[in-house]
Structure 1
Amino acid sequence: MTHGFGEFFHTATGHRPYAYQAGFAESGLPRLVRVPSGGGKSAAAVLAWLYRRLVSAVEVTPRRLVYVLPQGSLAEPTHARIAEWLHHLGYTDDVDLHLLAGPESQNGAWRRFPERNAILVGTHDGLLSRALMRGFADARAMAPVSFGLLNTDTHWVFDEMHLLGPGLPTSTRLQSLRESFGTTAPTGSTWMSSTSDGVTTDGGDVAAGPRLAAVRRIRRLDPDPTRYVDDLVDALGAAHLPGTQSIAVLGSAQRAREVYGALRAAHPGREIVLVHPYARSADRRVGAAVSEEAGRDRILVTTRALDVGSDASGRTLLTELAPWSALVQRAGRCNRHGEHPAGGDLLWCVPPDGPGPNAGVAAWLNAHEGEAVTTVDLFRARVGRNPTPSQVLGEHDVLAMFDNAYGAVPADASPWICADDERTVLVAWRVWESGEPAEDEPGPGRGEQCEAPLADVRKMLDDRGVWLRDPVDGRWRHAAADDLRAGTSVVLDAARGGYLPEVGWAPESGAPVPSLFTGRTPPAIACVAWVSLDRHLLETEEEARAVTAALPGLTEAQREAVARAARFHDLGKCHDVFQAMLRGGGGGEPPEHLLAKSKAPWSTGVSTRAYFRHELVSALILLNGEHWHVPRVEPELVTYLVAAHHGRVRVSVRPEADEDARTLLGVRDGDRTPPVAVSTGDHFPGQSLDTGAFRPGGSWTPRALALRDRDDLGPFRLAYLESLVRVADWRSSARHDGPATGLVP
């Protein structure tokens, strides 16, 4: 096997694997990996998983790999590197690759094909929050799907675990809860580090390799706090060797912008580049690609964005004092490849706010002033850490977050994932003659958005220039302080500034921001047929049986529950309110029978009743009678999966604030549904609806919690089954999609 993996690895990378990398391919990814910076941890994890998943251990290797970088990292270089490996191996059609970082963290395409092999690359804030059903920038209705898939049949790899902050104990706790609650298919985790902490390490053959013998000389700078930026600029200018790259790593985006601006003013003829994660998607990609370019005469100014996952190298590297793990990573980017035989210069300084918790790091650097150290020296050094205080994730917290209803507590997963000063929101800019968005203006797309520090955006609330769509009723309104939490999406008036294409997020700038909004764009794909309710139910069941047959670990009872839920999921579309919506476009020739889908463009998409949820009606139909019960199919589970298939009617169901006492999510007590017959032979008589079971104090929530807490289900299995019903629904709907071109009202 080792020889086989050797060829596999060489084809992907052009290099032979180290012994530890081959060992991972033979025995599987371990829980803990400690290898010096530049020692090939990413390749070891990704290619060993890939080899086992596709070649040597298919049945026991999870089909999804989640590769996690610390928050604030640019994930684009790692994503591009993996894409290159897949291309060299000829596996681009066999393995889906998705980027989930910055604005692209909202990409949900990975959820549609749970049976496919897939690699997800992102940062720990976006990925861990989704694994807790409180995904930053994830639609609340999609939370159960993300939760179900990320906690099942998945292997998590955490790169540079000591830079995860509160996310580190959360990641370990989540893995232990998967093991105790149980998952449908095995899900594991691997934590990687470039420091040894005096512990027995992997990668002994790496430490002996010539590449990691490259040296950098340590030198302290002592800038005057009253002219801090100017002194750093002077030091960089003096240390920069023409024909080489210098890198300056600042502890905050604001200081990085200040140093960048001062460098450009002091050295107008020199290439100065600013790279950080607070930029729109296209600018992030450009910055990530530029940072990987070798052999340039320039100064690269950055933040922690390049600490992990980047292959950038500079002869001279200046860093502000940072946690030991970050400093080791940055030192690994000084003469990274040994391209400067005489060695590089590692300059460091204490930031204006003092050493803080990094005094031990400063003591080590001071003790080695003037010395030439190798990556291996840094790897083996023992520098005490100051653990980040964090909220402990309890079993009760995960169980509570299984309820994703608006108003459910806890509302936010941030305390278990990132420190207060590291939380970010997504910002877009629009041009409004009236100073505010139009009522029907769509929300921002990923390409428009920029990740920005939450604290910066909070300061903008005073001028009432921050807009968002209300998460409940979808209307545009001014954002309030309580609205802003990690992952919130907001829109600013482009005239007020806040972004510069060459700088990225720049709250101090008043220059108008070029808006990337191109107006309301008609969908390119639409439903091209009137689809009967009966046909949609049958086709969804077909899709459910197909997807469950392709996935491991499901019991026959679970497969049948998913299939039956798919068969019944849209029964509630028989309601007059939904049928009127499908036919409400005022044209076309809709058939008289009950519909599930409307031929575009004849559906208005707007219900005559606010908040109307057809899946609530579906569940009420199933609850009102036992004639559809059959042996070996659990009616409680089927009913739950039917109610939950849009992610909105799950554990607790609350009326909206402006609904009267007789109405719940647009469904009124006393509403009558017509008889429904399914070609499978199932018949549901017309009936009068009573929402009492779903109201606070009703029987629904105890039923849902009983399923969640069952030993043979638990939160991870139950959400996974929900995901499969949702996927089957998406796929059956897609059968009738086609180009929207030529569809006229």
Structure 2
Amino acid sequence: MEYEALFRKATGLQAPYPYQVKLAKEPWPDTLDIPTGLGKTAAVMLAWYYKRRVQKDAATPRRLVICLPMRVLVEQTHSNINQWLENLGDWASAAGNDKVSVHLLMGGENDLTSWADFPEEDMILIGTQDMLLSRALMRGYGMSRYQWPVHFALLHNDALWAFDEVQLMGAGLQTSAQLESFRRSFILGSNSRSLWVSATLNKNWLATVDFKPYLENLAQLTLSPDECANNVIQARREAVKRLSRAQTALTTENTKAKAIVYAQALTQEVLEKHLAGTQSIVIINTVERAQAIFGALKKHSPNAELLLIHSRFRPPERKALNQALSIPPSTEGPGRIVVATQAIEAGVDMTSRVLFTELAPWSSLVQRFGRCNRYGECNDSGGADVFWIDQDSELTNPYAADALALARDKLMWLDSASPAHLPATDEPSPLVSVLRRRDFLELFNTDPDLSGFDTDISIYIRDADDLDVQVFWRDLIQGVEEQTQPSRNEICRASLSQLKNYLDKRKGEDAAWRWDALDGKWKLFREKVRPGLILMLNADLGGYDAELGFSPEKIKYAVTILPDDSREQVEESYDGDARSQQNHPVELALHLNDVEQEMRNLAHALELSPKDAEATARAGRWHDTGKAHEVFRSTMTACESMAAQKNTLWAKSPCRGRHKRPHFRHELASMLAWLTHRASEPNADLIAYLIAAHHGKVRMSLRALPDEKSPETGTRLFARGVWDGDTLPGIDLPTEHIPDTTLRLDIMQLGESAMGSSWSDRVQRLLAAQGPFRLAWLEALVRIADWRASRKEQEDRA
């Protein structure tokens, strides 16, 4: 199918724009600079689809990763892409069907089996920069820490990153450039690349310390002169948008007492300009002021349809708002007034006859202007009006004062907000913390420090004033211990300041709990609020309303709890071994053989080199040999149905108890057995690492955990429930006999020992030789082979 026909079938539109055809038929550019309202999302997604599925272009990665700055954009993008794929007859609700599956990476849900099980399939991943960049930095927000390496691997190998609306990314934009520079300098497991997309793209924003050398040769795609003369494009570029300053201004006086005076004054002006039968949009820079103006409009305009849009809603409420926005207001009625924050600034496909906006950086204002007379639909009826709201220099939050001053200087000389009349974006790159190569490599170690904390990556993801946490509400009358992890539908984003405000207002009450991964239980939250947290809040203490969203001060009544039929476990404890505790027992030798075969199948599908294919297959063959350990054997036969099977070595069992040694990790025993017998083989250290890391719990460091107790004889080394001198019986496999083993832990000590170099030295050499992307890629593939084999074994026995 030719691209033009494919585009028409997918979108239902008559024909693609010339730039969309170029994107599909020519080599990928690095930047896409196209005015708002001209179908950039469709251009990127359908170009990827055409190259992957029609042209079978090996240079186009399997996974399209669409990174958006705001959560409100994610659902709309997800819905549009699903519809386009359905129209093409190539959409799947889940991976594993040889069709293109689409996945939301939103946090608060276990999305592993939905996409990470299938690295050889074409798929589309959509998420916010918080969710995606945190995973790309090996510190994924809202997910199990033990799955961080898998998502890291799949997002850096065989992935095309499309960073959309980059002018809103803040610190995340510089991080995206740094990550691309690292992918160009380290070895990759499979080809990956980046594409930066915006209507207000300044290439110099990408001039970070490591990406700057690549800047001169970046390929850019933008509208040609002929395209600018196209009738449809010209109608949008020259849409009539009269621009003037609003009478109301934001001042230190009228923002006192929760901005009541400001809200009332602006409401009066908005109602004067609003026209019946049309849509007006009011864009406000903070959630709190937007909520105040929405409340004032409800009092003074009871007839008009009113909507409040911001990023502090749960998914069901956001979905209802998106559905309401997709239906134009009746031309016969009083019309609609939408009050919104920056969440509506970009990507949201909507338009208005009248637009009010608070002063913002120039690139943001250009995006906001794009929500007015977006398609030139008002040109024949007198055009549209845009009013910008000035503000005192002391009231710049959440933006920098310099950026607002530059924007004001431009506005003072303009009387039109039409795209063709707007000056170019020339704002300097913001001053942010830049991720350096050494810092990035240190993130490869996923063990928390001795105090239980992780490196704070928030400074590399968002600006300091725009950092988020995630919260959800539960009825805790029945107790805290019984509460499960949240489903995606329960999660609501909150800023650090909002959550701090919430907790300050409820001091002395048990308001928030955090999941402790080490102990596997909920603990009362008494710490400093920091980005990336997922907190369970007491629904009885209020804080959320379906119409207003998260509002710590205004909502005192109980929060409505969502149904629990979709709740899933996200986190697991360090001691947890759910993948070994299955409904149907599986013998150890059979499982080792199955994993090896799954790994060889995966290596063939992904066209791994013979060297990598053999190393990962050997790791699969040996990965669970530590399950022959007496501690594991006793757990697998501790229930009544397995009591008569104590002399058989089991990989899976229906017994659900905990190991008698706290923190026992069978993968450590497996790795020690491998080094005992096969340390002289080629790639021995790589295979040892792949064996140890196959649950994400034993990776770069090897030490006893803080509460781990020593063996009976105090001189024995111990770590992760394994004691120096422990023994494993031999295992007979179809292709190899694994002898009896006495486990030694010399390698947990620094320096050389009878076993050779320490574990720390070995893995640091591996990281230097393989690079973080390739090492994580091989690590993830062995884990996925294990998951696949385990799933098929249970399906066969069922």
- Normalised by the length of structure 2, the TM-score is 0.86
CA deviations on 1:256-300 (whole Å, 9 max, x unpaired) are 211112211222222111122212222222223323332452111
CA deviations on 1:316-374 (whole Å, 9 max, x unpaired) are 12111112222111111111122222212212213564352311111211211xx3332
Aligned to 1:358: 404
Q: For residues 196 and 673 of structure 1, what CA distance do their matches in structure 2 show?
A: 60
- Which one-letter code corresponds to 1:261 in the other structure? G
Partner residue of 1:636 out of 685, 690, 694:
685
Q: For residues 17 and 493 of structure 1, what CA distance do their matches in structure 2 show?
A: 51
Aligned to 2:629: 575
- Which one-letter code corresponds to 1:7 in the other structure? A
Aligned to 2:519: 473
Q: For residues 581 and 273 of structure 1, what CA distance do their matches in structure 2 show?
A: 56
Aligned to 1:384: 426
Q: For residues 388 and 398 of structure 1, what CA distance do their matches in structure 2 show?
A: 21
Aligned to 1:221: 246
Aligned to 1:709: 768
- Which one-letter code corresponds to 1:85 in the other structure? W
Q: For residues 584 and 433 of structure 1, what CA distance do their matches in structure 2 show?
A: 34
CA contact (8 A) 2:280 2:337 kept: yes
Partner residue of 2:672 out of 615, 620, 639:
620
- Which one-letter code corresponds to 1:585 in the other structure? C
Q: For residues 16 and 294 of structure 2, what CA distance do their matches in structure 1 show?
A: 39
Partner residue of 1:126 out of 131, 154, 160:
131
CA deviations on 1:559-612 (whole Å, 9 max, x unpaired) are 11111111111111112222222233334566441111113xxx2152222222
Partner residue of 2:500 out of 458, 469, 472:
458
- Which one-letter code corresponds to 1:277 in the other structure? S
1:437 aligns with 2:437: no
**Per the alignment, in what secondary structure is the counterpart of residue 317 of structure 1?**
strand
Q: For residues 396 and 197 of structure 1, what CA distance do their matches in structure 2 show?
A: 27
CA deviations on 1:115-165 (whole Å, 9 max, x unpaired) are 000111111121111111111223211111111111111111111222211
Cα separation, partners in 2 of 1:309 and 1:654, compared to 1, 3 Å: farther
Partner residue of 1:328 out of 360, 366, 387:
366
Aligned to 1:404: 446
CA contact (8 A) 2:458 2:531 kept: yes
Tell which deviates more after alignment, 455-464 or 24-33. 455-464
**Per the alignment, in what secondary structure is the counterpart of residue 67 of structure 2?**
strand
1:30 aligns with 2:34: no
**Per the alignment, in what secondary structure is the counterpart of residue 238 of structure 1?**
helix
Aligned to 2:190: 185
CA deviations on 1:465-522 (whole Å, 9 max, x unpaired) are 211111322232122334x432211101111111112222121211101223638989
Q: For residues 65 and 4 of structure 1, what CA distance do their matches in structure 2 show?
A: 21
Cα separation, partners in 2 of 1:390 and 1:521, compared to 1, 3 Å: closer
Aligned to 2:348: 310
Q: For residues 281 and 590 of structure 1, what CA distance do their matches in structure 2 show?
A: 49
- Which one-letter code corresponds to 1:613 in the other structure? R
Q: For residues 79 and 566 of structure 2, what CA distance do their matches in structure 1 show?
A: 31
Offset at residue 393 of structure 1 (A): 1.4
- Which one-letter code corresponds to 2:786 in the other structure? D
Aligned to 1:347: 387
Aligned to 1:319: 357
Q: For residues 316 and 294 of structure 1, what CA distance do their matches in structure 2 show?
A: 15
Which runs of structure 2 are paired with 1:262-277 in the superposition (5 Å)? 262-277=296-311
Aligned residues: 722
1:563 aligns with 2:612: no
CA contact (8 A) 2:730 2:737 kept: no
Q: For residues 540 and 251 of structure 1, what CA distance do their matches in structure 2 show?
A: 53
CA deviations on 1:62-104 (whole Å, 9 max, x unpaired) are 1111111114543111111111111111111421111123656
Aligned to 1:8: 6
**Per the alignment, in what secondary structure is the counterpart of residue 323 of structure 2?**
helix
Cα separation, partners in 2 of 1:432 and 1:266, compared to 1, 3 Å: same
Tell which deviates more after alignment, 165-174 or 218-227. 218-227
Q: For residues 170 and 278 of structure 1, what CA distance do their matches in structure 2 show?
A: 25
CA contact (8 A) 2:627 2:651 kept: yes
CA deviations on 1:694-744 (whole Å, 9 max, x unpaired) are 35667001101111111xx2110000001101111111111133599xx9x
**Per the alignment, in what secondary structure is the counterpart of residue 300 of structure 1?**
strand
Offset at residue 312 of structure 1 (A): 1.3
CA contact (8 A) 2:67 2:128 kept: yes
Cα separation, partners in 2 of 1:331 and 1:164, compared to 1, 3 Å: same
Offset at residue 212 of structure 1 (A): 3.0
Q: For residues 484 and 537 of structure 2, what CA distance do their matches in structure 1 show?
A: 14
CA contact (8 A) 2:486 2:568 kept: no
CA contact (8 A) 1:36 1:207 kept: no
Q: Which runs of 5+ in 2 are unaligned?
A: 93-98, 205-219, 255-260, 570-577, 711-716, 752-756
CA contact (8 A) 2:72 2:318 kept: no
Tell which deviates more after alignment, 111-120 or 671-680. 671-680
Tell which deviates more after alignment, 190-199 or 6-15. 190-199
Q: For residues 304 and 155 of structure 1, what CA distance do their matches in structure 2 show?
A: 26
- Normalised by the length of structure 1, the TM-score is 0.91
Q: For residues 277 and 156 of structure 2, what CA distance do their matches in structure 1 show?
A: 48
Cα separation, partners in 2 of 1:590 and 1:453, compared to 1, 3 Å: farther
Q: Which runs of 5+ in 1 are unaligned?
A: none
CA deviations on 1:398-434 (whole Å, 9 max, x unpaired) are 1111111112896122111111221111111111227
Aligned to 1:110: 115
Offset at residue 305 of structure 1 (A): 1.4
Aligned to 2:728: 673
